[in-house]
Chain A
Amino acid sequence: MNKIYVGLIFGALLGAVDGGTAWFYPEARPMIAGILMGSTFKGLLVGVLCGWFARKVQSIAWGIALGAGLGLLFAFLVAYMGAENGQHYYLQIMMPGFVLGAITGFLTQRLGVQGQKHAKANSF
């Protein structure tokens, strides 16, 4: 399986799990369907981008850094849009997004098959 697929699958899975944790917040339960879909899509995007990067650059450290950065960025965009109640939950969305992005970046570096032409080993 190539790294983009790895990123897609694990990114979506981790995003879904992250979105599912909203069930533990009673105030968020009415919006859980939207939260789940949005979180899954966000994770999928981060995963695809991390997977594409991992095909070009072989470095666990850079993979984690990029994943964390992308996770933080997309989480910020979601938090900026605001919830249905008009609130912006920057901390609650960005912090988990940052860590999950790091995990996705790590998994795309560790798993999957490297691209053949463009693989370049790097050390951080």
Chain B
Amino acid sequence: MNDSTLDHLRTVADLPDLTGTRYEIESEIGRGGLGVVYAALDSELGRRVAIKVLDSTDEARVIANLEHPAIVPVYDAGTLPDGRAFYAMKLVDGIRLDHYAVKHRSVSESLHVIERIGEALAFAHSRGVLHRDLKPQNVMIGSFGEVYVMDWGIAGVAGTPRFQSPEQERGARSEVDQRSDVYALGALLAFTLPENAPRALKAVAAKAMRAKPDGRYASVSAMLLDLRRFEDGLAVDAFPESVWQKSWRFASRNRVLLALLAAYVLVRVALYFFRKF
């Protein structure tokens, strides 16, 4: 028996036994703290799905009750012959955010992704669900530009360094709330923004990532509001502006009106001074 045959046997041996289900495992596609994800074929519907195998179906129940365009839909859940739980979900045809951000590092692309993630988070928070482990590896960008937030944490204080809030780092479970997800979203914003991003956006990320939860946005919705204000050309709460900056922004948003008013003043001044000629 040669090495490649042995490697294949090892791989097959590691695959979960889906006997009794309608799924046929194809390959492993990801491995996280709470479980392993496989690509599989749903033999009844003839479509490819993603199967996640973990210790309990709690995560599946959480996600199945979060119906949102940016949260991967759960199709099925059950128990394997070996007692482990599994759930089948949409197989996202796309790439992870950390890979996506390498080639797509513009302000507009960053805002598009962050806003979609934020909307999913805000929706989940409204249902009393926190993510707790938001990071680029848990966000997928589909082939049509759709954004999916994956791997919703359901137990304990999770988190990944750099995207983990200080209270999660300390293990202070009682202090982990939606502002911990705000922290992670701010870290994602900072991660996806180009280096020459406007100061206002960097200020939004910085505010979301303040060490003390009280200093951050009170909610993901508040952070999204500030991002939308930026997109509308308005001042953001996170970035106090000087009088000059406010005037410049007003002038930028009202160029046509100011030009017309200037034309009127010019006409009046010209008529006044040349009336004698």
Q: Interface of A with B (CB < 8 Å)? A: 21, 24-25, 60, 64, 91-92, 95-96, 99-100, 102-103, 106-107, 110
What would be 28 A-B contacts, judged by CB atoms less than 8 Å apart? A21-B268, A24-B272, A25-B275, A60-B256, A64-B256, A64-B260, A91-B271, A92-B271, A92-B275, A95-B267, A96-B264, A96-B267, A96-B268, A96-B271, A99-B260, A99-B263, A99-B264, A99-B267, A100-B264, A102-B263, A103-B257, A103-B261, A103-B264, A106-B256, A106-B257, A106-B260, A107-B257, A110-B257
- Chain A contact residues: over half helix, strand or loop, or mixed? helix
**A2 smallest CB distance to B (angstroms):** 20
Number of interface residues of B (CB under 8 A): 11
Contacts of A100 in B (CB 8 A): 264
Q: Interface of B with A (CB < 8 Å)? A: 256-257, 260-261, 263-264, 267-268, 271-272, 275
In the complex, which residue of chain B has the Cβ closest to the Cβ of A24? Answer: B272
**B263 smallest CB distance to A (angstroms):** 5
Known: A106-B257, A106-B260, A107-B257. 7 other contacts (CB 8 A): A24-B272, A95-B267, A96-B267, A99-B263, A99-B267, A102-B260, A110-B257
In the complex, which residue of chain A has the Cβ closest to the Cβ of B262? Answer: A99
**B269 smallest CB distance to A (angstroms):** 10
Contacts of B257 in A (CB 8 A): 103, 106-107, 110
